[in-house]
Structures are given as C-alpha cells and as structure tokens.
Amino acid sequence: MSPDTFMILALLILTLPLVGFVLMIFFGKKLPRQGDWLELSIISGVLVLALVLLFQKLLLYHDQTLALNFIWADLKNVPGIGPLKIVLGFQLDNLSTIMLSVVALISTVVHYFSVGYMHGDVRYSRYFAYLGLFTFSMLMIVLADNLFLLYVGWELVGICSYLLIGHWYEKKSASDAAIKAFVVNRVGDLGFFVGIAILFTTFHTFNLREIFDAVAAGTLPSGSEGWMTAAGVLLFCGAIGKSAQFPLHVWLPDAMEGPTPVSALIHAATMVAAGVYLVARIFPLMTADALLFVAYIGAITSLISATIAIAQNDIKKVLAYSTISQLGYMIMGLGVGAYTAGFFHLVTHAMFKAGLFLGSGSVIYAMHHALDHQHDHQTDPQDIRNMGGLKAKMPVTYWTFLIYTLAISGVPLTSGFLSKDAILAGTLAFGGQSGHLLIPIIGFTVAGLTAFYMFRLVILTFLGEHREPGRLTHLKESPKVMTLPLMTLAALSIWIFYSFNPFGMADSWFAHAIERPESVVPASIAPVAGHLFAEEMHAAHIPAMALSLLAAGFGILMAFATYYWKRISADRVAEKVKPLYTFLLNKWYFDELYGTVIVGGTHALTRALRWFDNTIIDGVVNGAGWLTKGVSTVSGKFDMGIIDGLVNATAYVSGFFGLVFRKFQTGKVQTYLVYVVLGVMIFYFVFRLI
C-alpha cells in the first residue's frame, strides 16, 4: 500500500463511526432491530480496516510517520504575529496505529456485548449512536497530529461520556454522575487549554511535530525553562481530568451509573486511555520536573485508589477503583520515563479491563434476571456480598474473569505481567537514578494491593458457597453474544500476542514499534536520556520481576487466607483498624472534601452574591424605580393640576361665556331689534356725554 492509501484508510476509519452516528441518531429507530446491525457492521468494518492498517504499517512503514495535512483556516496577516495559517492534519505512526486498533477492537467487542446487555432498552438505537460518536471522538484524538484536533476530540469524548453515563437519566444518581463526570473533566480541560495556549502563543502552530522541532531548535515558551515545565504540567492537567488522576479522580467511580458496557468502553479504550495517550504524545516536550510531577501524581493516584478498592463491596466500584489505580500505574510509568512500558500497560490493560467490566456486566445481567425471577427488587444485583458460588452457574464468565484477574494481578504468562513488570522495572531504575525511592515502594505496594482486592472480588463472587443456598437457583449463563466477546478478550490477555518471551517484553515487536522518543527540551532540564534509562531498566528487570511476583503472590495468598480459607477474619481486621477501614470505605472522604470545599464554597459564594443582588442591585433598581415613580407622580400632579387645569379653565371660561351669550342669541328677530334699539340709545347717551 502506498502512503496515500494509508491515509485514506485512516480517514475512512475515522469517518465511518461518525457516519454510523448520524445514520443511527436520525434513522435508528425506524430501521429493523432499531439499526443495531448497521452500527455493528460499521464498527466491524472499522476493526478490520484498523487491523489491516496495523499489520501493513508495522510491516511496510515500520519507522516512518505518515501524515496528511490541510489548511483549515488562512488568517492572512494577524497583528502581532504576521501571516498565520492554521494547519490541521492526521498522522499515522506506530503509537497511533496501535492505539487505533485497540480502540477499534474494544469498541467492537463492547458493541457486540451491548446487543445482549442492552436488549429491550428504551433508548436502544440512541445508545448505539452514542457509542459510535464515542468511538469517532476517540479515533480523532488518536489520529490528530496537532493539539487543535486533539482538543476537539477531547471535548467530544467528554460530551459522549456525559451522554452515555447519563443514559438512564431518569435515575437521579445517573444524571448526577453524568454531570459530575463532565464538570470534573472541565477542570482538567481548563489546564489543557491553557497549556495549548502557552504553546500556541510561542510557536504559532498547533502541529506537535513543528512544536517539537522548534523546541529542539532552542525556542522555549517565553524563553524560559519554567514556562516549558508549566506548559508540560498544564497539558498533563487535561490527562489528570480525563484519566481520572488524583485529585480529579472522583468522577470515575460515579460513572458506574452508566450501562456496564459503557463502563468497559470508558475504562478500557475511549476515555481514560485518552489521558495516557496524550502524555505519550507530548512526552518529548516534558521536562524532568514535569515528568517528576507526572510520576508522583500517578503514584499517589494508584496508591489511594488501590486502598479504596479493598473496602468496596459493589463489584463495579471495585473495578472502577482498580481502573484508577492502573491508570495511575501507566501515568507513573510514563512519568518515570518507562515510555514503552507505560503505553504497553495501556494496551494490555485495555484488553483485560474491558474484559473485567464485560464480565461484571455478565454477572450483573445474570443476577438481575435471577432476582427478577424471584420478584426480588430489594437486593442489589451489584453487591458482591449477595453473590458467591457463581462459578458453577456461569463457567464461561468465571474462567474468563479469572484470566483477567490473573492478568491485572501480574501473574506470569499473562499480558498484565509483561507490562506491569516493565513499569515496575522502570520505577526501580528511576528510583535508583534520581533517589525518589517512594515511587518504586508505592509501585510494589500497589502491585500487592491489586492482587489482593482482585482476588477478593473473584473469591467473593464466584468461589465458595452462596450464603443462602438455593437463593439463586435461576441464575444462568449469559447469551452467546455476551460470552463470545469475553472469550475474545480473555484470549487477548495472554502474553503470546505481545511478546514471545513470557517473562519480558524488551525484545517483542511491541517494544520495537513503540520506542521512547528522545526529549526535545534543552539538556539541562531534560529527563535522563533514553539509552541510559534503558540500560538501568534492563538491569532492574530481574529484581523487579522477583519483587513483583513476591508482591502479587503475597496479595493473592492473603486474599485466599482471608476470604477462602477464612484463616483471617476480615471483619475482625476491619474492627481492629476501624478508623482506617471507615476512612477507606468512604473513599478517603474525597467526595465529602470536595462537597464541603468546592460545592460548599460555591454555595457560600452564590449566597453572598444573592445577598448582593437582593440588597444592592435590587436596591439600586428599586430605588431608581421608586425615584422615577415619585418624579412621575409629581409630574402627573402638575399635568393634572396645572396644565389640565389651565386647559379646562379655558374651556370652562369659553363654556361660561357661551352659556351667558347663548341667552342673547335667541334666534328671534324681535330680541335683536331690542338690542339694536338699546344699543342706539346707549350710543346716544354715550355720545351725548362726550
């Protein structure tokens, strides 16, 4: 294939979901089966094209970046800048091509799963339309070679998440969660926007390649290294919002209010991955300080959410916090400089986390129907305390779920082991080089915690006995359209697709395709050079593997000891560290903190403003009104009294004279004659007197 064909294919991949969205939103309801076959065939086509593109790209143009640019706006001469053209475009490098396939794959799987899960939903066609738009937006982010289109896709993803989380908007909690996700994302987007603005005012271009070149040539924003770091950190703010990093992670657990396949899509491919992808895209711009910030944010996020996940009882909430934790891992990996590992974890995590969510969706679906059959509408179908022993009833779901859990826990022979291990090696190398030992310590702690809470989930859900035998007799395995996607994703959680060596990914095709780009910032503020870091990482590989295996093994062992063999009573432990347990159960009180500080602060501000409005502004307005009324009353009195009085007086006088003189005008000639005679007599006497 020629490069042109490549770009045409890429554009086709980008626009097909948009076409699907437009068709579905306008005609979806009128089509047979509400048009799900249309959306499914479109997304399947996108998947096939994306896979073709991936193989062709890796085989034919392995080290090249293909781009397609067009002038979006020619602003001619802009004062203060000179001739300015806004050039937008798309690019295909290995990063975007792989991401393209991941998005297309997860999206396809979710589409197929949704056919079963959303069966009979009131807004079935609209749901699929939004899925299509969601996919389109994410593909736009992936393909954009400039910050402008990236931002457009970024915001589209935000609105799609809003629409889909709030799909069941009749539920108050769902609409609240949708608004929360949107608003919290806006906070991060503001930073992203300011970051773009800083870069644009300096470089007058949105194109990332041109910005990199300019920075490499020595141009810095405002000529200062501090601004360079600030630009990096601000761009990362967007990722903090989208990828649910501390302190903006609060929206993601609430986003569980959306349909479960949507959660899978958001968590695996289309939304939270965008933040990690953004960091990978702007990686060459990041200074050492900015990357340190990124690494610490990632580490803190992963630790906080892993601890919260332990205490949660809602199957989807546990998975939500595990997503945040794993995202923190990826961000941390990118932050310490393990670029390949961080992005690799994004890909592997996309597979098994989508699987975990779809698996939990399958469980919830089955629970829901089983409880429905018993006319039980009180029991929460998502609470793992109401489950147990589901293994026998739902074998496919159980086995696939187990594979995902092994992968996320980092057990060898899974994809998760490869990526996690590489990230941990990166943190070790970073800790050794920079002295920030807290980061590897957090890394390994979280590895152990992850294994613990994930196996807690598996044991409580699938293993053991249900606490009330015979309770869930009508529970049965989900339909084929739901289990097939599960099996696909389970297969993709095996190491073999990513690296032939199950214990390391350093020589895999992936590591060759995704190589860490060299930093373009001046050497004094740049992170440790790639090859030095790679050597250190290579040296840290074996200890990291040993430590991570130890941590994961310990976590799994503890989970079995506590929840399967019941050697350790979870309740008693919780009792012993009650304050800590309550603290974790309440998610570190983040919602309460934000509720008090931000929402409460906003309320206080609005109250103050309302007071100001009611008292001052209304006072002024009312005063003006009162004054006008007073003046008009006076002027009315003047009008009525004086002006009208004068007019009326004139009329009255005229009327009076009229009345008087009417008497004389009798119309009788004789009367007039009398006047004549009298007049003559008067004249006579008058003239006589004179």
Query: Which residues lie near another protein (CB under 8 A)?
Result: 667-670, 673-674, 677
- Give whichever of 59 and 659 is closer to another protein, judged by the CB atom: 659
Phi, psi of 84 (to 5 degrees): -135, 125
What SS3 class is residue 83?
strand
Q: Which is nearer to another protein, 470 or 667 (CB)?
A: 667
Q: How far is the CB of 677 from another protein (least distance, A)?
A: 6
Torsion of CA 608, 613, 619, 620, to 10 degrees: 120
Task: Report the alpha-carbon distance of residue 325 to residue 329 in Å, rounded.
Answer: 6
Comparison of 620 and 673: residue with beta carbon closer to another protein: 673
Least spacing, CB of residue 668 vs another protein, in Å: 6
CB of residue 680 to another protein, shortest distance in Å: 10
Q: Are strands 66-78 and 82-92 parallel, antiparallel or unpaired?
A: antiparallel
Q: Which is nearer to another protein, 524 or 670 (CB)?
A: 670
Q: Please, which residue, 572 or 668, has the CB nearer to another protein?
A: 668
Total Cβ atoms within 10 A of residue 666: 11
Looking at the Cβ atoms of 567 and 668, the one nearer to another protein is 668
Distance of closest approach, residue 671 Cβ to another protein, in angstroms: 9
Rounded to whole angstroms, how far apart are CA atoms 292 and 184?
Answer: 24
Tokens of 641: 């009294």
- Least Å distance between CB 679 and another protein? 13
Smallest distance, another protein to C-beta of residue 626, A: 56
Shortest gap between Cβ of 648 and another protein (angstroms)?
A: 28
Cα–Cα distances in Å, from 293 out to 41, 286, 301? 43, 10, 12
Residue with tokens 């295909």: 92
Please state the closest distance from residue 667 (CB atom) to another protein, in A: 4
Cα–Cα distance between 617 and 422 in angstroms, integer?
Answer: 62
Task: Tell me the closest approach of the beta carbon of residue 631 to another protein, in angstroms.
Answer: 50
**Neighbouring-strand partners of residue 146:** 207
Q: Report whether 271 contacts 157 (CB < 8 A).
A: yes
- Partner residues linked to 383 by β-bridges: 314
Give yes or no for a contact between 320 and 263, defined as CB atoms under 8 angstroms apart: yes
Nearer to another protein, 496 or 677 (CB): 677
Smallest gap from residue 656 Cβ to another protein (A): 22
DSSP string, 391-422: HHH-HHHHHHHHHHHHHHHT-TTBHHHHHHHH
Q: Which is nearer to another protein, 624 or 673 (CB)?
A: 673
Please enumerate in sequence order all residues whose Cβ is within 8 A of that of 288, keeping only pairs 6 or more positions apart, or say none: 525, 526, 527, 528
Beta carbon nearer to another protein, 378 or 670: 670
Phi, psi values for residue 663, rounded to 5° = -55, -35
Inter-residue contact 416 to 348 (CB < 8 Å): yes
Contact 490, 404 (CB under 8 A): yes
**Number of continuous H segments (helices) and E segments (strands) in the chain:** 28, 2
Q: Which CB atom, from 64 or from 666, has the smaller least distance to another protein?
A: 666
